[in-house]
């Protein structure tokens, strides 16, 4: 059979123009000549993969799963099994023989990202594994760069190694979903360009112990922390008042102490909810919304109730 390299370049380019990225990846596996030709193409000559969201899941069984949500609403799923040494793509299984499963997965992901023209809407990284395996996976991912607006991480201690994988110029929202007793190196994370450039921070549940100075620069904040002091509240108050881009802050507090109860003043009881409104915390001219949530246990050991304190003079839409 004649080598594909002997075909006119115009013909090859025309072939590329009528194929979507999945067809190009299939064609790449047809023969070595096709593979070399496709790998040598500039990114601009490749079709758009049109992926809007990617979810990467690593499980205790040492399997890796990629979920791709496309702009047309369709989903593509690739599952790599270390135990079976196989790759399952949309239900079709291929045995990888002696290949290292981690390497195959990252090579596949790298090829797919090469077709991505637009910025991802979401990138979710879920490491439900022992931290040593999660760190190994984050190190392998380090060869890639993701352009995404929203980064969500569910892990044990890999946050610092994962965050730099994302282009700081595109990242808008950072979302930490923490396992219980997760180790988060906030001092170092707060020094990254990704952290400094993002506009919004989300964290849950109540396992994060973070200094308020690390999230006071975000225009939007929805977090759950272990505790907060009256000094911290005053710091946030000054930060938010002096900020030109602040919109809202919702802060959940696990341990609601007597200092906060005294500082926040009397509250109204509405059913099972206890509410306290501080009308003078911010000037009337400020369009600032801050909500402070916490579990409050009174001295008589009654059932815990959700306490919602809203520092507000104007609620933003």
Residue 34 sits in a domain whose CATH number is 1.20.1280
Quote the pLDDT of residue 297: 36
4 domain residue, yes or no: yes
What pTM value is reported for the model? 0.80
Q: Is residue 91 part of a domain?
A: yes
pLDDT at residue number 265: 54
Domain identity same for 171 and 87? yes
Look at residue 291 in the predicted model and tell me its pLDDT: 64
Q: Contact at 8 Å (CB) between 53 and 122?
A: yes
- Ranges of residues in the chain with a pLDDT under 50 are 1, 267-287, 295-317
Instruction: Assess contact for 210 and 227: CB atoms under 8 A.
Output: no
Query: Do 188 and 94 belong together in one domain?
Result: yes
Same domain, yes or no, for 24 and 72? no
Q: What was the pLDDT predicted at 198?
A: 97
User: Does some domain include residue 42?
Assistant: yes
The predicted pLDDT at position 271 comes to 39
Note whether 177 and 253 are same-domain residues.
Answer: no
Q: Is residue 192 located within the same domain as residue 62?
A: yes
206 domain residue, yes or no: no
Residue 241: give the domain boundaries.
226-317
| 100 shares a domain with 39 | no
Of the chain, the end-to-end C-alpha distance in Å amounts to 66
Residues 177 and 262 in one domain: no
317 belongs to a structural domain: yes
Q: Which two tokens stand for residue 114?
A: 């090469």
Q: Does any domain span residue 251? A: yes
pLDDT computed for residue 278 by the predictor? 37
pLDDT of residue 69: 95
Amino acid 151: pLDDT: 96
Q: How many domains does the chain have?
A: 3
256 inside domain: yes
Same domain, 25 and 167: no
Say if 303 falls within a structural domain.
Answer: yes
């Amino acid at each position: 059979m004649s080598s594909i390299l002997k075909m006119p370049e115009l013909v090859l380019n025309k072939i590329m123009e009528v194929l979507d990225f999945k067809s190009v990846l299939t064609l790449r596996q047809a023969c070595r000549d096709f593979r070399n030709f496709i790998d040598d193409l500039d990114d601009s000559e490749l079709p758009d993969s049109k992926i809007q969201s990617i979810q990467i899941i690593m499980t205790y069984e040492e399997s890796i799963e990629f979920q791709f949500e496309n702009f047309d609403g369709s989903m593509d799923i690739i599952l790599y099994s270390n135990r079976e040494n196989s790759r399952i793509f949309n239900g079709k299984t291929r045995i990888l023989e002696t290949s290292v499963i981690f390497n195959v997965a990252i090579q596949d992901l790298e090829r797919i990202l090469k077709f991505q023209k637009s910025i991802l809407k979401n990138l979710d990284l879920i490491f439900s594994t022992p931290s040593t395996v999660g760190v190994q996976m984050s190190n392998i991912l380090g060869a890639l760069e993701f352009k995404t607006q929203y980064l969500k991480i569910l892990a044990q201690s890999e946050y610092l190694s994962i965050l730099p994988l994302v282009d700081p110029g595109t990242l808008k929202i950072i979302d930490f979903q923490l396992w219980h007793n997760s180790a988060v190196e906030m001092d170092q994370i707060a020094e990254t360009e990704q952290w400094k450039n993002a506009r919004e921070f989300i964290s849950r549940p109540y396992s994060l112990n973070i200094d308020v100075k690390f999230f006071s620069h975000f225009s939007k904040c929805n977090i759950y922390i272990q505790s907060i002091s009256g000094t911290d509240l005053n710091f946030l108050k000054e930060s938010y008042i002096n900020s030109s881009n602040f919109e809202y802050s919702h802060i959940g507090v696990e341990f609601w102490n007597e200092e906060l109860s005294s500082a926040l003043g009397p509250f109204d009881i509405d059913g099972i909810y206890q509410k306290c409104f501080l009308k003078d915390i911010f000037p009337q001219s400020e369009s600032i919304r801050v909500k402070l949530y916490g579990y409050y246990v009174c001295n008589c050991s009654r059932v815990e109730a959700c306490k919602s304190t809203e520092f507000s003079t104007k609620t933003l839409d």
